[in-house]
Chain A
Amino acid sequence: MQHRRKSSLNMNAAAFASLGPGQLRPGREVDAVDGVAPQAVITPRSPDHLSAALEEARREGLGIIPVGGATSGLPGNIPEAFHIRLLMTGLATKLERRPADMTVSVDAGVSLARINRALAAAGQRLCLDPPHPERATAGGLVASNACGGLRHAYGSCRDLVLGMAVVDGQLRRYQCGAEVVKNVAGYDLPRLFTGSWGSLAIITEVTFRTHPLPEQAATLLFEFDDEAQLDGARARLLSSKLPLAAADFSADMFAGQQSWTMALRVEGSEHEVAYQAGMAEELLGREIGESADQWWSPVHAEPDAAMVLKVSLPPACCARFAAALASELAMSVGELSIGGHLGVGLVRVSLPAGSAGQISPAIEACRRCLDLVCQDPDARAAWADFVVEKVPPEFKQGRDVWGRRPAGLSLMQGLKQRFDPARILSPGRFVGGI
């Protein structure tokens, strides 16, 4: 879709006059997204500042990309227009926990680590464990529907967000959802904005549900010889009565060798944790458990990976997919990291820094392997697909990084049209060029 846009922004415009020192600076190379540098970086300190910046953008047809901790690497298609990098970390005052209600409301720029420190003092937590909690912000987590291993038991942001305050692309400011754990009044706008990747509205405040902090937790590691063993273990485990908090796996390949590891997180009282460890060993064999807690710290979060793919597929296909991919790439790729959430069916594949030459073959192989393991009549998973989360911009040309055309794309385009008619919010970056 083509829109008339001004090519540059007037940083002296009246709209920006209200911004104080440190809130507006010229854009630089480091601020670029997909090789496109913005003209300005704006750090609003209040929703009013934010509205002023959006107002200017709408008037002048500017493209804005909101940014929290930037820990996602800001995935998306090459921006259609990028004038303002809107840094949301300036909105980080409110942190209101209500332990008795098991909810917490925060400004969009508050980091996950800060939220969890505050909650821990009241014996609670926000059950999200994506990489880089010190930098990842409430707004960014929600806009990207982030999660970590705990998703197995607690779901992703989508399942934990109760309400939010937003400014949408029409510059409407409103609260949606509620601050209580149960609410079905009206259409569920928080679900619309969760996972909308900054393309419909700027999130200014979020209310999450919280959970009690477990007395104890343990990570149990198990090793397997091949994918069949790992998958057998998965099937036994997930059909057992073991209430896992997380069930991740890794199937990294190094120098042609693939190693198969499963990491389980069990939580509860001391007695419960020991009991679960016993159950797990009974099901899976001996646990190897060394430096187990290290395991969760970002296995797939190397910031300088050359390529990261996020693959969605049925849980029962994960191991076969990992094996097929490694065997396709064994000849051409020296090192490949594969791993993810087994119970959910979410796998990340990444190539280390310096392997740009292998990106195209790896993406092709990923497509073939996914078709191979998921399209057979047993799996019935025509929906399995992957998102190219991170690649250098030249690999994005002519490709939709979000994967195949999703069902309901015309509805999504309709939603974009309604909520951001002037295409000021992350224009062109989301699926189908939304």
Chain B
Amino acid sequence: MLLDTAIKKRLRDIVGPEGMVEGAAALKVYECDGYTLEKAKPELVLLPGSTDEVRRVLCELHGAGIPFVPRGAGTGVSGGCLPAGIPVMVGSSRMRRIRSIDLDNARAEVEAGVVNLEISRAVAEHGYYYAPDPSSQSACTIGGNVAENSGGPHTLKYGVTLNHVLGLEMVLPDGELLRIENNGEQVGYDLLGIVTGSEGTLGVITAAIVKLLKKPEAVATLLAVFPGVLEASRAVSDIIAAGLLPAAMEMMDAMVIEAVEAAYGFGFPDDAGAVLIVELDGLEAGLDAACVRVVQACEGQGASEVRRAADEEERALLWKSRKRAFGAMGRLTPAYCTQDGVVPRSRLPEIVEIIAEVSQRHSLRIATLMHAGDGNVHPLILYDDKDQSQVEHVIMAGNEILGACLDLGGSVSGEHGIGVEKIALMSQAFDQEALQAMADLRAVFNPSGLCNPHKVLPSDRSCMEVKRPGPRGGG
């Protein structure tokens, strides 16, 4: 499809010259998100500066029958904003205002392009923060977080984006403005809940009202070193069985540790088979006792060392090592592919064994990162992107691992979404009737199908086949 000059002019009149990106060179950044193996340039990227501009842009596109895709920071890892077969991209990067902060009611209204971490920064001096903390939080936008229902290490105790959004302002695909705001007590169907996690297929989010939490009185961050991933995942089960609900329980295996150590030099022991980061928060009063129980659980599963971050600096470095682990992986491999499966917590040891078996069978190195407390595993399959036969094994290995997650009673995505990457797995995860019901839901919001087509549901498979390995980054 080629956009004619008349429509381009009308769109330019709406967003102004600074809101329009054209030309191959400038469009290069928009050709993919963190899912880099499929690329396509849009013809035009529009960066509206206000909700009203978004509304007028969508009215125009709707009138002309032109498909479009919303985009935040492009850190998504399932190809959610891949513009394949979609001429226009609507980005949120010029909508970055924090509109209001209401500490008395513990909420803030922010535009869609506001970066996750900026919210916490804006309220930090008052002792508040925004809880969902994807590892990409210094880059990803709140619009993208809502669209993906993103999680992060602290979802274990605090929940995902869904649990922290009290309102949304969005423009529906036909250009109608919708503002949903409440205190979690919506009258009528939970439109807020439906839009959250809908991967940019139900309209363009222009602002969100988010909950602010008070920082806990005390935090303790423990690092436990294990001989292997199996022992560490058993320790996770034991911590849960002990009736503890840590704020976060994150695991890295030896390969990830090696990369991270080389990059950030935290001082992980070189012989560590796996490390578990356990963060406890809450009252000063109960914290030491809880730490003792975590230490016991870890030692019970053979941890060779459990140490507590001595101060805020050490704690920050530990989290940096964890959150930037993906960035460090480049040291080990020319390319890698991140998977995002979930298993019931008690089945972590099983999926760990399956991953090892898959790795061996396909002769591929697989590093593993986990939001272990949630049963959310991110196997990173390392490969050489120039070796086509290896590429095929990467795809098979990824699908086998996700298939195993389903067999164990889990899910094919814990936080990265379906996008284009996992469309083919949807029919494995849900029966036909559920998929039809999902299509019905989408059709109510997006009857024309113009908003982010060819994503999420397998009915759109005609355009997209999962034939390439997945993304870098994520988790």
Name A residues whose Cβ lies closer than 8 Å to a Cβ of B.
98-103, 123-124, 145, 155-156, 158-159, 168, 172-176, 178-189, 191-192, 194-196, 200, 211-213, 235, 238-241, 243, 268-269, 271-272, 275-276, 310, 312-316, 344-346, 380, 382-383, 385, 387, 402-403, 406-409, 411-412, 414-415, 417-419, 430-432, 434
Contact A275 B283 (CB under 8 A): yes
Per-residue interface assignment for chain B, residues 349 to 376, with 1 indicating a CB less than 8 Å from any chain A CB and 0 otherwise:
0000000000000000000000100111
List the A residue with the shortest CB-CB distance to B373: A181
Determine if B333 is an interface residue (Cβ-Cβ < 8 Å). no
Contact B285 A159 (CB under 8 A): no
A433–B178 Cα gap in the complex (Å)?
20
Contact status of A415 and B104, CB under 8 A, knowing A176-B430, A182-B375: no
Contact A172 B196 (CB under 8 A): no
List the A residue with the shortest CB-CB distance to B155: A182
A315–B189 Cα gap in the complex (Å)?
23
A-B contact pairs, 28 of them (CB 8 A): A124-B243, A159-B159, A168-B437, A172-B436, A175-B431, A179-B344, A179-B410, A180-B342, A180-B344, A184-B413, A185-B412, A188-B149, A188-B162, A188-B196, A191-B194, A192-B189, A192-B190, A195-B189, A239-B103, A313-B183, A346-B185, A383-B182, A406-B186, A411-B178, A411-B189, A411-B444, A418-B444, A431-B187
Contact B437 A412 (CB under 8 A): no
Contact B413 A185 (CB under 8 A): yes
Task: Name the B residues within 8 Å of A184 (CB-CB).
Answer: 148-149, 160, 197, 411, 413-418
The minimal Cβ–Cβ distance linking A168 to chain B, given in whole angstroms, is 7
The minimal Cβ–Cβ distance linking A364 to chain B, given in whole angstroms, is 19
Task: Name the A residues within 8 Å of B240 (CB-CB).
Answer: 100, 102
Contact A101 B188 (CB under 8 A): no
The minimal Cβ–Cβ distance linking A219 to chain B, given in whole angstroms, is 18
The minimal Cβ–Cβ distance linking A200 to chain B, given in whole angstroms, is 8
Contact B433 A174 (CB under 8 A): yes
Task: Name the B residues within 8 Å of A194 (CB-CB).
Answer: 190, 193
Task: Name the A residues within 8 Å of B167 (CB-CB).
Answer: 383
Binds A, one of B214-222, B299-307, B379-387: B214-222
Contact A180 B244 (CB under 8 A): no
The minimal Cβ–Cβ distance linking A50 to chain B, given in whole angstroms, is 15
Q: A98-B346, A100-B344, A241-B127 provided; 8 other pairs, C-beta below 8 A?
A: A100-B240, A100-B346, A181-B342, A185-B426, A239-B127, A272-B282, A411-B172, A411-B178
List the B residue with the shortest CB-CB distance to A431: B188
Task: Name the B residues within 8 Å of A240 (CB-CB).
Answer: 214
Determine if B465 is an interface residue (Cβ-Cβ < 8 Å). no
Most chain A Cβ neighbours within 10 Å, of B167, B182, B456: B182
Contact status of A186 and B426, CB under 8 A, knowing A100-B237, A212-B243: yes
Contact status of A419 and B285, CB under 8 A, knowing A187-B194, A212-B243, A406-B187: no
Task: Name the A residues within 8 Å of B334 (CB-CB).
Answer: none
List the A residue with the shortest CB-CB distance to B163: A159
Contact A235 B243 (CB under 8 A): no
**8 Å CB contact of A180 from B289, B409, B438:** B409
Contact A185 B411 (CB under 8 A): yes
User: Can you list the 5 inter-chain pairs with the closest CB atoms, starting with the nearest?
Assistant: A191-B193, A100-B346, A275-B285, A174-B434, A414-B444
Task: Name the A residues within 8 Å of B237 (CB-CB).
Answer: 100
**8 Å CB contact of A186 from B344, B376, B418:** B418
Contact B183 A314 (CB under 8 A): yes
**8 Å CB contact of A212 from B245, B289, B435, B437:** B245
Task: Name the B residues within 8 Å of A419 (CB-CB).
Answer: 437, 440
**8 Å CB contact of A178 from B160, B182, B245, B342:** B342
Per-residue interface assignment for chain B, residues 148 to 190, with 1 indicating a CB less than 8 Å from any chain A CB and 0 otherwise:
1101000100011011000100001000001111111111111
- Interface size class for chain B? 35 or more
Task: Name the B residues within 8 Å of A212 (CB-CB).
Answer: 243-245
The minimal Cβ–Cβ distance linking A263 to chain B, given in whole angstroms, is 19
Contact B189 A383 (CB under 8 A): no
Task: Name the B residues within 8 Å of A269 (CB-CB).
Answer: 286, 289
Contact A385 B410 (CB under 8 A): no
Most chain A Cβ neighbours within 10 Å, of B103, B149, B193, B418: B193
The minimal Cβ–Cβ distance linking A359 to chain B, given in whole angstroms, is 20
Contact status of A189 and B184, CB under 8 A, knowing A98-B344, A195-B190: no
A102–B159 Cα gap in the complex (Å)?
14
Determine if B429 is an interface residue (Cβ-Cβ < 8 Å). yes
A382–B167 Cα gap in the complex (Å)?
12
Task: Name the A residues within 8 Å of B214 (CB-CB).
Answer: 238-241
Contact B456 A186 (CB under 8 A): yes
A156–B443 Cα gap in the complex (Å)?
28
Determine if B39 is an interface residue (Cβ-Cβ < 8 Å). no
Task: Name the B residues within 8 Å of A315 (CB-CB).
Answer: 104-106, 183
Contact A102 B345 (CB under 8 A): yes
The minimal Cβ–Cβ distance linking A42 to chain B, given in whole angstroms, is 23
Task: Name the A residues within 8 Å of B159 (CB-CB).
Answer: 155, 159
A49–B444 Cα gap in the complex (Å)?
30
Contact status of A213 and B190, CB under 8 A, knowing A241-B217, A345-B183, A346-B185: no
List the A residue with the shortest CB-CB distance to B198: A187
Determine if B241 is an interface residue (Cβ-Cβ < 8 Å). yes
Contact B286 A271 (CB under 8 A): yes
Contact B441 A100 (CB under 8 A): no
List the B residue with the shortest CB-CB distance to A186: B438
Contact A100 B414 (CB under 8 A): no
Per-residue interface assignment for chain B, residues 285 to 320, with 1 indicating a CB less than 8 Å from any chain A CB and 0 otherwise:
110010000000000000000000000000000000
Task: Name the B residues within 8 Å of A186 (CB-CB).
Answer: 418, 426, 429-430, 434-435, 438, 456-457
Task: Name the B residues within 8 Å of A101 (CB-CB).
Answer: 344-347, 375
A287–B375 Cα gap in the complex (Å)?
42
Task: Name the B residues within 8 Å of A100 (CB-CB).
Answer: 237, 240-241, 344-346
Contact A192 B194 (CB under 8 A): yes
The minimal Cβ–Cβ distance linking B42 to chain A, given in whole angstroms, is 25
A423–B409 Cα gap in the complex (Å)?
34
A357–B430 Cα gap in the complex (Å)?
53
Task: Name the B residues within 8 Å of A430 (CB-CB).
Answer: 188
Determine if B343 is an interface residue (Cβ-Cβ < 8 Å). yes
Contact A123 B243 (CB under 8 A): yes
Task: Name the A residues within 8 Å of B375 (CB-CB).
Answer: 101, 180-182
Determine if B191 is an interface residue (Cβ-Cβ < 8 Å). yes
A176–B429 Cα gap in the complex (Å)?
10
Task: Name the B residues within 8 Å of A155 (CB-CB).
Answer: 159, 163, 184
Contact B190 A158 (CB under 8 A): yes
Contact A188 B193 (CB under 8 A): yes
Task: Name the B residues within 8 Å of A408 (CB-CB).
Answer: 178, 180, 188, 191
Contact status of A344 and B415, CB under 8 A, knowing A186-B429, A186-B457, A238-B106: no
